[in-house]
Amino acid sequence: MAFASINPASGKREAEFAAHDAAATEERLAAATAAAPDWATTPVAVRVAVLTRCAELLSERRETLAALATLEMGKLEREALAEVDKCGTAFSFYAQHAAAWLADEVISTDATRSLVARQPLGVVLAVMPWNFPFWQVVRFAAPALAAGNVGLLKHASNVPQCALALERLFADAGAPPGVFQTLLIESGDVARLIEDPRVRAVTLTGSESAGRAVATAAAGALKKSVLELGGSDAFVVLDDADLPRTLEVAVTARFQNAGQSCIAAKRFIVADAIHDAFVEGFAARAAALEPGRNLAPLARADLRDELHRQVVDSIAAGARCATGGEAVPGPGAYYRATVLYGVVPGMPAADEELFGPVAAVLRARDDAHALALANGSRFGLGASVWTQDAARGERFARAFESGLAFVNGMVKSDARLPFGGVKASGYGRELARDGLYEFVNTKSIWIA
């Protein structure tokens, strides 16, 4: 199999890379295994110096790297630049905090001396998606490498140039050979790698089905796994919300990156009193988005076709389309910004993840109904609530069945805060101190 870069804006095949065969994969796994002990005992100050250099190189290469993301998965230029810049903040964050968080924690017990030591696990396999081809990797790699682990990246097959650029970044930043490598392998090869005793843990960001497969393989091998899976984030608009501001944020929350984000707002649950005004304003703003200018294409044509199927099936079940609802004629995997309303549970737009520029609006009778609709999903990644009453908003935030809850703000990832979900959105946490501790052996040491 060859890994191809196909420009989703034109459908043109831009580059092709040969897959790593069994021998090449073994060579990289052996290199990672050999590098792990030395990297684990390398002083933290030296390890985080590599992260600092990564941040510097990202700044120097930001236009080149952003162009790769645009080429391979269709991201708008300004969004691609913002992604590269965000990666730099994560590297700098862990370079600043890792040493303190990894220091021995002395605990008073009946021993002469007792402490908690946090030691790296070894080789960690990362299975990553295409929608944020740099950020998704960095938010795993920065804490994992700071902690003394080494990484093997199995990236999505449609972003091979981004994957190889990340490998070069770490090497150029001073990471020793074997500390961070890319594997150009198929998804079917992942289970075999997880079973290999040299791989000590696995992390995946991706679909629910992929997560179940990786979790099953990791459980069978008794290995640590972290899963960040899909989402159908609720965007709850209460009757006292600042409607103009809420509408402006709603457009960004749904349509940035062409809606291809696990934490994008997807289900807009709106109080009955302002429902019609919200739909009218939301549809007008969505209709003004222009494919190719401020609305990116979907990453692949098959993703666009699946999204259209969900729209058609939802309309057939009784939903109404306020704007959009169709692919854009001509080259590229473009789909018009779409707003569906009259959506109720049982429709694909309410029950499935809409991974593209389609918003589903549900009407809520009151606060209790709004919360029930928000939590009535098998997903539980993020949720937001919009109200001018801070206490009312916090009550909703605490009641959401989600890993992230925002009041009057768009759900986003931030290196300073733990990131992850519950229910079918996965388990474990990335970022913050929690993300650093996911791939360490938290060891109690007792000395008489």
**Nearest of 2, 145, 149, 133 to residue 71 by alpha carbon:** 133
pLDDT-derived band at 190, boundaries 50, 70, 90: very high
Share of the chain above pLDDT 70, in %: 100
In the chain, the N- to C-terminal Cα span, in Å, equals 58
Averaged pLDDT for residues 290-300: 97
Q: What does the DSSP 8-state code read for residue 292?
A: T
pLDDT of 224 reads 98
pLDDT-derived band at 272, boundaries 50, 70, 90: very high
Averaged pLDDT for residues 11-37: 97
Average pLDDT for the chain: 98
Share of the chain above pLDDT 90, in %: 100
Kindly list the catalytic residues: 228, 262
Averaged pLDDT for residues 79-100: 98
pTM: 0.97
By CB atoms closer than 10 A (0-12, 13-18, 19+), residue 6 is buried
pLDDT-derived band at 337, boundaries 50, 70, 90: very high
pLDDT of 2 reads 81
Range 401-438 burial, b when 16+ CB lie within 10 A, else e = bbbbbbbbebbebebeebbbbebbbbbbbbbbbebbeb
Cβ-contact 190, 217 below 8 angstroms: yes
Pick the CATH number of 233-407 from 3.40.50.300, 3.30.70.270, 3.40.309.10, 3.30.465.10: 3.40.309.10
Fold of 2-229+425-447: Aldehyde Dehydrogenase; Chain A, domain 1 (3.40.605)
Predicted confidence (pLDDT) at residue 115 exceeds the cutoff of 80 = yes
Predicted confidence (pLDDT) at residue 218 exceeds the cutoff of 80 = yes
Cβ-contact 270, 362 below 8 angstroms: yes
**123: its two tokens:** 């080789």
Predicted confidence (pLDDT) at residue 1 exceeds the cutoff of 90 = no
Q: What is the pLDDT of residues 122-135, one digit of tens each?
A: 999 999 999 999 99
Cβ-contact 330, 296 below 8 angstroms: no
For CATH 3.40.605.10, the residue range(s) in the chain are 2-229+425-447
Predicted confidence (pLDDT) at residue 183 exceeds the cutoff of 90 = yes
Q: What is the pLDDT of residues 427-440, one digit of tens each?
A: 999 999 999 999 99
**Nearest of 233, 24, 375, 289 to residue 297 by alpha carbon:** 289
Rounded distance between C-alpha atoms, residue 361 and residue 350, angstroms: 9
User: How far is it between the farthest Cα atoms of the chain?
Assistant: 75
Averaged pLDDT for residues 249-262: 98
pLDDT of 388 reads 98
Rounded distance between C-alpha atoms, residue 374 and residue 275, angstroms: 16
Phi, psi (deg, nearest 5) at residue 298? -70, 160
Q: What is the pLDDT of residues 368-378, one digit of tens each?
A: 999 999 999 99
For CATH 3.40.309.10, the residue range(s) in the chain are 233-407
